[in-house]
Every structure is written in C-alpha cells, then in structure tokens.
C-alpha cells in the first residue's frame, strides 16, 4: 500500500539527528514495549508480514507523530484485537475483562535464548527455476496495490540489473493477508541513481532493493 511507511525520497522531515552515546532504550516503557511485542508475536497467530502491514496501516498523521515503539504498540493492539486476544473492553479497563482466544504457544522465559538464537528464517524451498540470472536487465512493475507490498514506490517502473539471485522467500504481499506463503525467488536488483531520481541525481549513486520475482519483468 502507498502508506506512510513508504518513505524513500520523501522530503521535509529535516536533518537526521544522530544521538551521541545513544542508550539502548530511552525509557523503561520501551523495554516493555519490545518484550510485549516479541512475546505476543511468539504466540504464532500472525506473521511478521501481517505485523508490518498493521504498522503501515496507521493513519499517516498517527504514524509520523509516533516514535517507533509507539508505532509497534499501536499496531500490536490492532493485531491482538483482530485475533481475539484482547477486546476494547479489556483496553478500556486496563485489565483482563473478556476471555481470550487460545494461543498456539506461550513464550516462557527459559525458552527465550533458544527462540532468539533460532530466529524465524523466511527462506523456503521452491520448485520452479529462477526466471532471471545475475546480469539480466529487468524492469520493476508499476503497480499500486491496496494491500501489503515490499516494492517501494520510488523503485516502481524502473529499469535495473539483477546483481544476485538469492533464494526462495515467503511472499509478503500474500502472507500479510493470510493468503499463504507462496514463496518466490528473490533477487537483488541495482538501479542507477539517475534512473530513479532523474534530473539532478547524484551521478555516483546506485541503489539496490531485494525484489520478489513477480515484481520484475524482463527489460
């Protein structure tokens, strides 16, 4: 979706503000926000793609007015309600009022090290051969889906070169919506700065994205 998350090339956000000796967290609630988000995700009711889509579905004014952990928590409330774990009445009361759906699993403290060390690989076996090879010229599709996609607007309808064939990966555009993993080949595609930004582009710039096969057509 053409949501607030799709930031590449947007303007007027001001300078980057690196913070010297930045702490890992800026307030204790950020610690809890990280942990609650990871523990809730570990229930197994939604995928990382669905959670990204919940975040980018915030109203743009809300998204841009929120810090990243605030975005996480607002999206988490949406996910918890959607999947029947939390109700509006619970949130209004600030305590458990309504019964909850049954989670697939609950992450216990003793299992955290293993779960974090294992992660959640998104590569999948894929039966079809890769359509493109390194060096191929490709053009990204020009589309504007209402649902989740990982093809940023600035890179749509652009010609680039396949630099690497990666592997089969879960396709976020369907997986975010409960429509299956449908793995596709992923390629690193590199574009000249001028192809993307046109007049006035930095002549020394090239930009790459990692693109699922259905985002690409032969150039």
Partner 1 sequence: MSHDHDNELDPFAARVRALETILTQKGLIDPAAIDVIVDTYETKIGPRNGAKVVAKAWVEPDFAVWLKRDATAAIGSLGYTGRQGEHMQAVFNTADTHNLVVCTLCSCYPWSVLGLPPVWYKAPPYRSRAVIDPRGVLEEFGLTLPATTRIRVWDSTAELRYLVVPMRPKGTEGWSEERLADLVTRDAMIGTGLAREPA
Which residues from 134-173 bind partner 1, rule CB under 8 A? 150-152, 154-155, 166-167, 169-170
Q: Which residue has the tokens 């000796």?
A: 21
Binding span for partner 1 by CB under 8 A among 131-139, 175-183, 184-192: 184-192
Binding span for partner 1 by CB under 8 A among 96-104, 129-137, 174-182: 96-104
Please list, in sequence order, all residues whose beta carbon lies within 8 angstroms of the beta carbon of residue 201, skipping any fewer than 6 positions away. Answer: 192, 193, 194
Q: Output 136 or 212, the one with its CB closest to partner 1.
A: 212
Give the binding-site size for partner 1 (rule: CB under 8 A): 93
Binding span for partner 1 by CB under 8 A among 110-118, 131-139, 173-181: 110-118
| Residue 210 touches partner 1, criterion: CB under 8 A | yes
Binding span for partner 1 by CB under 8 A among 25-33, 125-133, 174-182: 25-33
| Residue 195 touches partner 1, criterion: CB under 8 A | no
Q: Which residue has the tokens 């001001």?
A: 14
Measured distance CA(195)–CA(137) in Å, rounded: 13
Please list, in sequence order, all residues whose beta carbon lies within 8 angstroms of the beta carbon of residue 48, skipping any fewer than 6 positions away. Answer: 41, 120, 122
Measured distance CA(84)–CA(183) in Å, rounded: 28
| Residue 112 touches partner 1, criterion: CB under 8 A | yes
Q: Which of 2, 10, 142, 179 touches partner 1 (CB under 8 A)?
A: 10
Binding span for partner 1 by CB under 8 A among 72-80, 131-139, 174-182: 72-80
Shortest distance, CB of residue 142 to partner 1, whole angstroms? Answer: 16
| Residue 111 touches partner 1, criterion: CB under 8 A | yes
| Residue 95 touches partner 1, criterion: CB under 8 A | yes
Residue-by-residue DSSP string for 69-117: HHHHHHHHHHHHHHTTS--HHHHHHTS--S--PPPS----GGGHHHHHH
| Residue 39 touches partner 1, criterion: CB under 8 A | yes
Measured distance CA(99)–CA(22) in Å, rounded: 41
Q: Which of 57, 81, 100, 156 touches partner 1 (CB under 8 A)?
A: 100
Burial class (CB in 10 A: 0-12, 13-18, 19+), 197: middle
| Residue 54 touches partner 1, criterion: CB under 8 A | no
| Residue 194 touches partner 1, criterion: CB under 8 A | no
Q: Are 58 and 75 in contact (CB under 8 A)?
A: yes
User: Which element (helix H / strand E) includes 10?
Assistant: none
């Amino acid at each position: 979706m053409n949501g607030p998350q799709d930031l590449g090339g947007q303007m007027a956000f001001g300078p980057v503000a690196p913070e010297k000796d930045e702490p890992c967290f800026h307030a204790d609630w950020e610690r809890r926000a990280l942990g609650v988000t990871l523990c809730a995700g570990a229930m197994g009711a939604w995928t990382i793609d669905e959670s990204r889509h919940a975040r980018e579905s915030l109203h743009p004014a809300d998204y841009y007015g929120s810090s990243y952990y605030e975005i996480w928590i607002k999206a988490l409330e949406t996910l918890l309600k959607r999947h029947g774990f939390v109700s509006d009445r619970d949130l209004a009361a600030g305590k458990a009022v309504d019964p909850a759906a049954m989670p697939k699993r609950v992450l216990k403290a003793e299992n955290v090290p293993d779960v974090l060390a294992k992660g959640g690989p998104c590569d999948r076996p894929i039966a079809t051969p890769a359509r493109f090879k390194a060096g191929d010229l490709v053009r990204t599709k020009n589309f504007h889906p209402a649902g989740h996609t990982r093809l940023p607007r600035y890179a749509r309808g652009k010609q680039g070169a396949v630099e690497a064939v990666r592997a089969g990966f879960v396709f976020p555009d369907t997986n975010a919506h409960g429509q299956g993993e449908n793995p596709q080949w992923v390629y690193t595609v590199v574009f000249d700065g001028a192809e993307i930004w046109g007049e006035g582009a930095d002549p020394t710039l090239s930009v790459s994205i990692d693109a699922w096969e259905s985002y690409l057509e032969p150039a």
